[in-house]
């Protein structure tokens, strides 16, 4: 079981390449959420991909090179808050495998111990207590396979949503099943991926929820794209943006 530190005064934010490219507002919203907890947030502009696509495709040497470049960008001993459970899992669990037996093994392990997924950090380190300022609504949540297995994002995301008094969390059938994205899997096996996302969107739609939320933008891109192709009005949002919107006071 992971031992969590006291709430720090400063953290690094690792936005992930997908948030940076497709939804930078989610990154800014995450910064605001952390600042509301009295935490100073440092964003390193040179950060790039965590190396997961190369790693899961079997390109270990290339993944190690990417990992090394990221590790060097975060030299100070601050926690590193990651906006995707799958990227967090790569950095926390798999970087040590890349550097096992390497002369930098101890340095890398120290880095990995500082990596936290956003909802994990808010729940287990900040111990946040949210006050819902929004109107009644219903949401359905999706968590990526890696985020669920490696970082337990489904438990911490559920904990945060359960604190919102005017939000009804509805559970889709086969909630833990993959949406079909899987990084390069969706490119290498497009027909299988399409069948999987069709199942996923059907189960999400059947909940008749107002909003889809997720802490993983890779999955959201896949699911949102499928909904757009199906001409359905559901649009998935990053959990950071949803939480900030719900907890901000509306000016009258």
What is the reported pLDDT for 120? 96
Helical ranges in 58-129 per DSSP H: 60-71, 85-89, 95-98, 105-113, 118-124
- Cα 222 from Cα 204, distance rounded (Å): 13
Count of CB atoms within 10 A of residue 233's CB? 6
What's the pTM value of the predicted model, to 2 decimals? 0.93
Domain locations in the chain as residue ranges: 10-124, 137-247
Residue range 192-230, pLDDT digits in tens: 989 999 999 999 999 999 999 999 888 999 999 999 999
Confidence of residue 239 (pLDDT cuts 50, 70, 90): very high
CB atoms within 10 A of CB 152: 19
Average pLDDT over residues 3-17: 96
At residue 188 the predicted structure's pLDDT band, cuts being 50, 70 and 90, is confident
Residues 160-172: pLDDT tens digits? 999 999 999 999 9
Mean pLDDT of the chain: 93
Residue 91 phi, psi (nearest 5)? -75, -35
Q: How confident is the model at residue 249 (pLDDT cuts 50, 70, 90)?
A: low
The answer to whether residue 119 scores a pLDDT higher than 90 is: yes
For residue 82, what pLDDT band results from cuts at 50, 70 and 90? Answer: very high
pLDDT of residue 104: 95
pLDDT reading at 252 higher than 50:
no
Which pair of structure tokens corresponds to residue 74? 């975060």
Domain 137-247 of CATH type 3.40.50: yes
pLDDT at 149: 87
The alpha helices in the chain, defined as continuous H runs, are 17-22, 24-35, 52-56, 60-71, 85-89, 95-98, 105-113, 118-124, 145-151, 153-162, 185-188, 190-206, 217-229, 239-247
Q: How many CB atoms lie within 10 A of CB 28?
A: 17
What's the whole-number mean pLDDT along residues 128-139? Answer: 96
Counting residues of the chain whose pLDDT is more than 70, the rounded percentage is: 98
pLDDT of residue 136: 97
Hey, is 235 helix, strand or coil? coil
Question: Residue range 118-126: average pLDDT?
Answer: 97
| SS3 call for 167 | strand
Mean pLDDT of all residues in 86-114: 96
SS3 content of the chain, % helix, strand, coil (to 5): 50, 15, 40
The percent of residues in the chain predicted with pLDDT above 90, rounded, is 81
pLDDT of residue 251: 41
Number of Cβ within a 10 Å radius of residue 144: 29
3-state secondary structure of 23: coil
Measure the CA–CA gap between 237 and 23, rounded to whole angstroms. 9
pLDDT tens readout for residues 65-80: 999 999 999 999 999 9
Q: Is 67 helix (H, G, I), strand (E, B) or coil?
A: helix
Query: How many Å from the N-terminal Cα to the C-terminal Cα in the chain?
Result: 46
Q: Which of 41, 11, 26, 8 minimizes the C-alpha distance to 213?
A: 26
């Amino acid at each position: 079981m992971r031992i969590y530190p006291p709430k720090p005064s400063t953290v690094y934010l690792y936005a992930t390449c997908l948030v940076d490219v497709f939804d930078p507002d989610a990154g800014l919203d995450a910064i605001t959420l952390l600042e509301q907890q009295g935490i100073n947030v440092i964003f390193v502009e040179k950060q790039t991909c965590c190396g997961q696509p190369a790693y899961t495709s079997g390109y270990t040497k290339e993944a190690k090179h990417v990992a090394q470049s990221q590790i060097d960008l975060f030299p100070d001993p601050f926690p590193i808050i990651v906006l995707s459970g799958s990227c967090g899992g790569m950095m926390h669990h798999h970087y040590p495998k890349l550097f096992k037996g390497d002369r930098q093994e101890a340095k890398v392990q120290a880095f990995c111990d500082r990596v936290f997924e956003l909802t994990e950090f808010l729940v287990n380190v900040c111990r946040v207590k949210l006050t819902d300022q929004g109107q009644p609504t219903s949401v359905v949540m999706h968590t990526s396979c890696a985020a669920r297995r490696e970082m337990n994002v489904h438990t911490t995301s559920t904990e945060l949503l359960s604190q919102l008094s005017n939000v009804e969390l509805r559970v889709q059938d086969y909630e833990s099943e993959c949406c079909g994205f899987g990084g390069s899997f969706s490119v290498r096996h497009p027909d299988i991926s399409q069948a999987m996302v069709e199942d996923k969107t059907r189960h999400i739609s059947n909940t008749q929820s107002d909003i889809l939320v997720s802490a993983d933008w890779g999955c959201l891109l896949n699911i949102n794209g499928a909904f757009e192709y199906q001409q359905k009005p559901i649009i998935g949002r990053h959990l950071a943006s949803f939480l900030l919107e719900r907890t901000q006071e509306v000016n009258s």
